[in-house]
Amino acid sequence: MAENLNLFTSTQKVIKHSLNKLGFGEEMYELLKEPIRMLTVRIPVKMDDGSVKVFTGYRAQHNDSVGPTKGGVRYHPDVTEEEVKAMSLWMTIKCGIVNLPYGGGKGGIVCDPRTMSMGEIERLSREYVRAISQIVGPTKDIPAPDVYTNSQIMAWMMDEYSRLRENDSPGFITGKPIVLGGSQGREKATAQGVTICIEEAAKKRGIDLKDARIVIQGFGNAGSFLSKFLYDAGAKIVGISDAYGALHDPDGLDIDYLLDRRDSFGTVTTLFENTITNKELFELDCDIIVPAAVSNQITGENAPNIKASIVVEAANGPTTDEATKILTERGILLVPDVLASAGGVTVSYFEWVQNNQGYYWPEEEVNTKLTAKLVDAFNNVYNLSQSRRVNMRLAAYMLGLRNVAEASRFRGWV
Ligand code: NAD
């Protein structure tokens, strides 16, 4: 809880600083420091044993000046109002960085889907849509999957919304199964976006990806796709880890073999005897480090010992404020999470565009368009950081907020 509160207040702090750098005053900050709309709903659900359980759900909409709001729905016992609000602010910034015609949104339900039957999850998902239906829709606010939600849940939600409106509405939600209007390439989009950022960052530092030595923390959804892309591109993955430890080979690990052996939770190190710790992983001799597991991993303690010249944040919030300062002072290129993980929402946008036009693109076309968007975004953030002499995180926030701030001003809101 305290961590979520910190996440919200620290995001507000960077927003204030960015708006200041962009020349916007206190009134703009007053508008953008909180979501413009926040709905809390109580959702009664008939459980399999005949009882009724009442769940709490949220939907936050940060700012809809450039277009509808967009963001995932999270099912987790630790979901809080503060977390949902903070994530909606983040989504505005991500959408702005890749120049999508969206503001940020986010939703969540306090529940533990791991202890619920499929029938109970379906009834909960349909009731949630009924509860928030007045404020969502293809031109208002477009949900998507997030922690513990998936394409099946998106399909139920889309079906419920379409029934309520008596219209087939695939553009109401993204992350759907392909047969219901999902986009090719959505599953790998986040890792692909991270890979594009790594390629661009390597170019800036004169590193050829084929010779690069890369360390990745986390071997789950994000880390495993990412290690495969980089391995196939010829890079040497010299370290990977999971929650139980890390593997290290200065000559490069056999990623295909490890992918084959890892379980569905992203665990592989328990199969080996010669492991190192996650702490040692961050201090390995390498060119690029990619935290792709959990938050607060690069801290004031280990930042001075990092040997890589590039850090790319695939996870959400892996670097503390203090560590960001240290890495920046040491001249290490830090590619922030809001930029590196924007591939997912970019392909979600492509899914919505395809739904709206009723014409679907092959995977190569999706990938080409994704690459163009991310290369542009990376270079815009990089160039802004150079011209304004600020780190990439602050530059990303500045770029991410510029569209909504200008659109809010043109609309006459501020
Ligand atoms: P996941 O649950 O599939 O995998 C997490 C991995 O991290 C596992 O290998 C796990 O063993 C490891 N891990 C867990 N706790 C750890 C610890 N304390 N130290 C070291 N390793 C630990 O999760 P994911 O979907 O791969 O997401 C990873 C990060 O990337 C998260 O921060 C997530 O928010 C972010 N992210 C993921 C996506 C996506 O599409 N999957 C999109 C955007 C951002």
Q: Quick: pLDDT tens for 331-368.
A: 999 999 999 999 999 999 999 999 999 999 999 999 99
Pairing of the two strands 141-145 and 103-110 = unpaired
Mean of pLDDT values over 243-251? 96
Alpha helices in 302-391 (DSSP H): 321-329, 337-340, 343-357, 363-387
Band (4; pLDDT cuts 50, 70, 90)? low
Ligand 1 nearest-atom number relative to CA 317: 32
Residues 328 and 234 reside in one and the same domain:
yes
**Is 184 within a domain?**
no
**Strand-strand pairing, 288-291 and 310-312:** parallel
* Residue nearest ligand 1's atom 4 by CA: 220
The pair of three-digit structure tokens given for residue 403, joined into one six-digit string: 């569209």
Q: Which of 275, 308, 340 is the last residue of a domain?
A: 340
165 or 4, higher pLDDT = 165
Assigned domain for 78 exists: yes
On whether the CB atoms of residues 71 and 145 are closer than 8 A, the answer is no
> Does 199 share its domain with 160?
no
Whether residues 141 and 203 share a domain: the answer is no
Average pLDDT over residues 239-252: 96
Could you tell me if 329 and 202 lie in one domain?
A: yes
The verdict on residue 355 lying in a domain is no
> Is residue 290 one of the residues assigned to a domain?
yes
Is there a domain that residue 118 lies in?
A: yes
Q: What is the CATH number of the domain that holds 92?
A: 3.40.50.10860
287 with 147, same domain: the answer is: no
Residue that is last in its domain, among 102, 133, 167: 167
| DSSP, residue by residue, 384-404 | HHHHTT--HHHHHHHHHHHHH
- Domain range for 283 is 189-340
* Residues 286 and 160 both lie in one domain: no
Which residues form the pocket of ligand 1, taking CB atoms under 6 Å from any ligand atom?
190, 217-223, 241-243, 266-267, 278, 292-294, 314-316, 341, 344
**Mean pLDDT computed over 20-33:** 97
Residue 258 lies in a domain: yes
User: pLDDT tens digit string along 100-124?
Assistant: 999 999 999 999 999 999 999 999 9
Atom 23 in ligand 1: which residue has the minimum CA distance?
A: 220
- 119 and 52 in a single domain? The answer is yes
The angle subtended at Cα 220 by Cα 215 and Cα 222, nearest 5°, is 70
Statement to judge: residues 276 and 319 lie in one domain: yes
pLDDT of residue 10: 82
Q: How confident is the model over 145-170, as a mean pLDDT?
A: 96
Residue with tokens 């710790």: 277
46 and 160: one domain?
A: yes
CATH number of the domain enclosing 267: 3.40.50.720
pLDDT band at 282 (very low <50, low <70, confident <90, very high): very high
Which one of 106, 188, 228, 236 is the catalytic residue?
106
Q: Whose C-alpha lies nearest to ligand 1, atom 5? A: 220
Query: Which of 281, 280, 300, 277 is CA-nearest to residue 290?
Result: 281
Please report whether residue 117 resides in a domain.
yes
Q: How many domains does the chain have?
A: 2
Same domain, 334 and 197: yes
What is residue 7's predicted lDDT score, i.e. its pLDDT?
Answer: 79
* pLDDT of res. 1: 44
Active site residue 325: no
Specify whether 222 is located in the same domain as 330.
yes
In a domain, 201, yes or no: yes
The answer to whether residue 132 scores a pLDDT higher than 50 is yes
